[in-house]
Structure 1
Amino acid sequence: MESLSIDLETRSSVDIGKSGVYRYAEAEDFAILLFGYSVDGGAVQVIDIANGEQIPQEILDALTDESVIKWAFNANFERVCLSRYLSDLGIALDPFHDNHPLSTECARFLSPHSWRCTMVWSAYMGLPLSLAGVGRVLGLEEQKMNEGKALIRYFSTPPFHEPTGAKWDLFKSYNRRDVEVEMAIQKRLSKYPVPQSVWEEYVLDQEINDRGIRLDMPLVENAVQIDVRTKEKLTDRLKTLTSLENPNSVTQMKAWLKEQGVETESLDKKSVTALLANVPDPLKEVLELRQQLAKSSVKKYQAMQNTVCSDGRARGMFQFYGANRTGRFSGRHIQLQNLPQNHLADLEYARSLVRQGSFAALELLYESVPDVLSQLIRTAFISKEGRKFIVADFSAIEARVLSWLAKERWRMDVFANDGDIYCATAGRMFHCNVVKHGENGHLRQYGKLAELSSGYGGSVGALKAFGALESGMKEEELNPLVDAWRAANPNIVDFWWAVDRATKDCIKERSTKVTHGIRFIYQGSMMFIELPCGRRLAYVKPRIGENQFGGESVTYMGLNLSKKWARIESYGPKLVENVTQAISRDILCYAMQTLRTMDIVAHVHDELIIECDERVSLSAICEQMARTPPWADGLPLRADGFECQFYQKD
């Protein structure tokens, strides 16, 4: 036996959508109902476990045999569920089969080393992340059965129905079909294998998801309770001031404001901030209270309550290849990628008050309790007793990668000398010396805004999106700022249009083109951009189209912003963004591989969170992270970090 293709149907009273598979598989009433499998691409067998059928011994043996490759679509689900099932049978998940105490203690889950995920393969090829979606896009003869959702609701979620009758027979057919579709995807994509290096990254991702990150549950529980009390007080005060039945209602609040002589199209944060500058005091209090109520969101804390496992750790926070345009990771459940920042000077003290449930003290000491709760979300992630967190991140990783690719020498010199890129950029743009908090220091903000908005072809709209007007800049300053940045970075501008030309020529000629060390390859009905590390970005059914200005544009099939499979338009600077972000992701993965003997518990964009012994050196971790991969010769990297007992922004 070389490979097993697997699909499970399970049941649990835990809502997997809210809690994730790790918590789902811990439930007392969790059970595997059906086990569909194929050995080496042969006929699919379905084992009716719910009605007493047994998985054959050779298949059970294969599940713990590292030499047998296990395939599934979203394999994390099958692997975690089978870990629980085998543990209940008393089968050790020891990957070394040596019964060593450390091996058996640590093996909570089946080792991911012999697992492969067809969903990852689909994502690598720029395809949807759902089995039905991939089947439709590839036009497979075998398509996922539409009845599936209704059958899962009937048999897999409370109240659980008896596994008998015509519906049960249909459920077994559904299970069989899923294995067939998964194998059909493998067959269709066999010409485009995923590189071994990406599978090694997937294994590392699964290890991080299995390890999880510890949560401070007393803090979490009290934060939720304090938020309930805060909401009640704020709502009562607003009702008193406005006499509205529901002051949370946007419609009611807009109508009330209109009666007071204030009209607004929106009550979002930006609009309310603008209104606060011009309204009289009584209205100001109403709007400030409304802003506090809007901030009063404990969804992250509730996600922690939903996700936490029996040992106090949250697992399954990361989706490998969640962003299939670049291969970057995306967040799941608690979503570490978009946590509020913390700026409280007395963070530890505020944290202790919430942990103790001291609502009165919080009200007395802080202007906004909801804001305090928001700033403390990060601090709910804590290290194990006797250990610490090392939080380390890359400095200006995208700016460095873009400069390296474009061979923008002056920028490379700034990075090599650990200079401030915002000051250096402002200096080039305004032809003067700019020092942070010193000579011409006010120009640094212009350099920063230009850097953040202009690297991928952004113009006035991008500057506005990054808050140029809010920072005090005038409308008439924006265009000259864009022009000045481009004039200061001619090699980056040339790089955009070199990529644009190479892409168009590749598609028109159906050939391979190379520019700036990046290969553009036409193969089958695909265009691939091959990165320096050998990984490829996939663009499905590329064409040359016409853009809104009547010029040539590149289009391809992919998931649009609405998650619909549609034709997407792109051009040089946007493709440069894909390439730069993808290489930045590869550098993070390289650092994770070099640090894999450490307990990486989380990663956010270009930052690693490591749970380690108190004696581990921060400088050694940063030095290791900053090692340039062998495929990125000449790229100057830098990592900085800090130590803490709970997660925070330094």
Structure 2
Amino acid sequence: MEITQKLECFPVPQNEWENYWMDQDINDRGIRIDQQLVNNAIKCQNVFHDQYLQTAKELTGLANPNSPLQLKDWLQQQGAKTDSLSKASVAQLLQTTTGKVHQILALRQLLSKSSVKKYQAMQKAMCQDGRVHGLLQFYGANRTGRWAGRLVQVQNLPRNSMPDLEEARKLVKQGNVTALAMLYDSVPDVLSQLIRTAFIPSKNHHFYVADFSAVEARVIAWLSNEEWRQEAFAKNEDIYCASASQMFGVPVVKHGINGELRQKGKIAELALGYGGSIGALKAMGATKLVLTDDELPPLVQMWRNASPHIVQFWWDVDKAAKECIKTHLPQTTHGMKFIYRSGCMFLRLRSGRYLCYPKPKIGTNRFGSESITFMGINTVKKWDRIETYGAKLVENIVQATSRDLLAEAMRRLEATENTVVMHIHDEAVIDAPSNRSLDTMVQLMTEVPDWANGLILNAAGFVSDFYKKD
């Protein structure tokens, strides 16, 4: 009751109630599961897991070669000492080992595949109507308001890249273990790639999958008014080529002139938009792909030089937030407003929705610089003081704005009887009869709200009889 009284001062806007009601409709509607595929995928995984384990036992003589402790001891005896058997460590060891050790490490990779857990989660969550309900939690990410995955955790499904996805799917549905073993080197990998396909439309319906194209890149370009990016999006250019061209001062064409620079542009775009530096590039896999350690610092600087308005956006947001906390007076920047009220800093987005930062303070960070902290749930799920800064606030702003764009797009789809059964990041999955128009759905997705005047949106889609990554 006391919490209710406190929250009465901050009523939920009507727009957000409508998003919540839509969310409840989507979760109540649920999404159909291919029970035959799920059941046989689990059986196939168990068959191959037992085979791999038996082979590993014969090669090592260990009672349980799946035990990290036993396997590390065995590897040390073979002259391949390692402190970890993580996915990354095993992959690295495979590059330098041969013979029996290489074979065992390859088996370790296969045994540690956790793809079957998703199928088990589907089996467990499926209701009597053959559908899974409650896959998405409204406002699951409390900083931005984005949805969070629950039960099957659809927000991190493995990607599929197999050209013969449909054929592999049929073999698993049939439970044809012999054919799978003959045709594929790694059956666990096949099962992993088929996880998405376990979601299927209602009878006599198709899935119409429509998603925004590079929505966060478009939103940050619009908010910061980075003109060359806006022009690239208006011309529907490849943003990674455009970024590389701006950075290196030469034309870059995918699979064409200076095409080798596109990868550098792509890594920079994905890693550096929210204040990231060398560490962010490495986390994005820069050194594993195309770049040496010496190339990273210049790449950061080139990207920032090519995107001065985005960099200025970070600093403007940082300054406005600090001034709001220090003075408790409203501050505006880039069409947004910081307000201090009831011991909280509220950030009003262009959509009109507010982000909340409770009990904000100005402190000193580990580098000796002035920094912003607020109270929230930390990485270990504890209520604690969290540090933030301009570029991180920009990340919150961009992701929250992208969330609002998706919410409004889904409401337009729902209003025209294009029923959404699932949505993942910037993608909506519509379960509808075959007489519907994908083009119309894509058009509905890309309608720009009044509050986002000047934003250049684009979307693409496909029609399928099962869910997949196109």
SS at match of 2:121: helix
Offset at residue 468 of structure 1 (A): 0.5
Q: Which residue of structure 2 lines up, in the alignment, with residue 594 of structure 1?
A: 412
Rounded to whole Å, the distance in 2 between the matches of 1:414 and 1:472 is 25
Displacement of 1:281 after TM fit? 2.4
- Within-5 A mapping of 1:131-150: none
Query: Are 1:291 and 2:104 an aligned pair?
Result: no
| Contact map agreement 2:442 2:461 (CA 8 A) in 1 | yes
Structure with the greater alpha carbon radius of gyration: 1
Secondary structure, counterpart of 1:321 in structure 2: coil
In the alignment, which of 349, 372, 375 is matched to residue 190 of structure 2?
372
C-alpha distance after superposition, 1:177-224 (max 9, x if no partner): xxxxxx321111111111111111000000000000000000000111
Q: Is the 8 A contact 1:231 1:296 kept in 2?
A: no
What is the aligned partner in structure 2 of residue 311 from structure 1? 129
Preserved contact between residue 159 and residue 469 of structure 2 (Cα < 8 Å):
yes
Letter in 1 for 2:157: L
1:355 is the counterpart of 2:173: yes
Please give the alpha-carbon distance, in whole angstroms, between the structure 1 residues aligned to 2:323 and 2:340: 10
1:612 aligns with 2:435: no
Partner of 1:559: 377
Alignment match, 2:257: 439
Is the partner of 2:384 in helix, strand or coil? strand
Q: Verify the 8 A CA contact 2:244 2:261 in the aligned structure 1.
A: yes
Letter in 1 for 2:399: Q
Q: 3-state SS of the aligned residue for 2:287?
A: coil
Show the counterpart of 1:626: 446
SS at match of 1:337: helix
| AA in 1 matched with 2:243 | T
In the aligned structure 1, how far is the partner of 2:456 from the partner of 2:12? 29
8 A contact 1:392–1:639 mirrored in 2? yes
Aligned positions of 1:11-26 closer than 5 A: none
Aligned to 2:86: 268
The Cα shift of 1:296 comes to 4.7
1:275 Cα deviation from its structure 2 partner: 0.9
Q: Give, as a single letter, the amino acid of the residue that structure 2 aligns with 1:630.
A: D
Question: 1:464-492 CA deviation, whole Å, 9 max, x = no partner?
Answer: 10000111310110111000000000000
Residue 578 (structure 1) aligns with: 396
Rounded to whole Å, the distance in 2 between the matches of 1:270 and 1:206 is 39
How many residues in Structure 1 have an aligned counterpart in Structure 2? Answer: 468
3-state DSSP class of the match of 2:19? helix
Cα distance in 1 for partners of 2:418, 2:461 equals 15
Measure, in 1, the Cα distance between the counterparts of 2:3 and 2:62: 56
Q: Which residue of 1 aligns with 2:266?
A: 448
Quote the Cα distance in structure 2 between the aligned partners of 1:502 and 1:388.
Answer: 48
Provide the residue aligned with 1:320 in structure 2.
138
Match of 1:636 in 2: 456
Q: How does 1:101-112 map to 2 (within 5 A)?
A: none
What is the rounded CA distance, in whole Å, between the counterparts of 1:270 and 1:473 in structure 2? 19
1:133-172 equivalences under 5 Å are none
What one-letter code is carried by the residue in structure 2 that aligns with 1:478?
A: L
Amino acid at match of 1:191: C
For residues 297 and 637 of structure 1, what CA distance do their matches in structure 2 show? 34
Residue 211 (structure 2) pairs with residue 211 (structure 1):
no
Q: Report Cα offsets for 1:595-625 as digits up to 9, x if no partner.
A: 1121100000000000011011111111110
Which residue identity is paired with 2:411? Q
Higher RCO (CA < 8 A, seq sep 6+)? 2
1:39-89 Cα shifts (integer Å, max 9, x gaps) = xxxxxxxxxxxxxxxxxxxxxxxxxxxxxxxxxxxxxxxxxxxxxxxxxxx
Equivalent pairs: percent with the same residue? 55
In the aligned structure 2, how far is the partner of 1:282 from the partner of 1:440?
Answer: 43
Q: Secondary structure at the match of 2:359?
A: strand
Counterpart for residue 192 of structure 1: 10
Match of 1:295, SS state, is: coil
Q: Distance in 2 between matches of 1:392 and 1:264?
A: 45
For residues 113-124 of structure 1, what are the structure 2 equivalents within 5 Å?
Answer: none
What's the secondary structure of 1:499's corresponding residue?
A: helix
Q: Give the equivalent residue in structure 1 for 2:210.
A: 392
How far, CA to CA, are the matches of 1:293 and 1:186 in structure 2?
50
Tell me the amino acid that sits aligned with residue 514 of structure 1. T
2:39 matched to which residue of 1? 221
Q: Could you say what secondary structure the match of 1:576 adopts? A: helix
Partner amino acid, structure 1, of 2:244:
A
Contact 1:227-1:296 at 8 Å conserved across structures: no
Helix, strand or coil at the partner of 1:391: strand
Calculate the TM-score normalised by the size of structure 1. Answer: 0.72
Q: Pairwise CA RMSD of aligned residues? A: 0.7
What is the rounded CA distance, in whole Å, between the counterparts of 1:455 and 1:375 in structure 2? 30
- Say yes or no: does 1:336 pair with 2:154: yes
Q: Which residue matches 2:323?
A: 505
2:138 aligned counterpart, secondary structure: strand
Distance 2:219 2:122 in 1: 35
Q: 1:417, 1:616 → 2: CA distance?
A: 29
Q: Which runs of 5+ in 1 are unaligned?
A: 1-182
What is the 5 A alignment of 1:540-559? 540-559=358-377
Matches of 2:114 and 2:410, distance apart in 1: 36
Task: Report the residue type matching 1:377 in the other structure.
Answer: I
- Answer whether contact 2:264 2:290 (CA < 8 A) is retained: no
Stretch of structure 1 that moved more, 488-497 or 279-288 = 279-288
Q: Is the 8 A contact 1:296 1:371 kept in 2?
A: no
Residue matched to 2:386: 568
Aligned equivalent of 1:280: 98
TM-score, normalised via structure 2 length: 0.99
**Residue aligned with 2:432, SS:** strand
Give the equivalent residue in structure 2 for 1:481. Answer: 299
Corresponding residue for 1:120? Answer: none
Secondary structure of residue in 1 paired with 2:371: strand
Q: How many Å separate the matches in 1 of 2:238 and 2:152? A: 33
The reply to whether residue 429 of structure 1 matches residue 247 of structure 2 is yes
Per-residue deviation at 1:295?
A: 1.3
CA distance in structure 2 between the aligned counterparts of 1:430 and 1:480, rounded to whole angstroms: 11
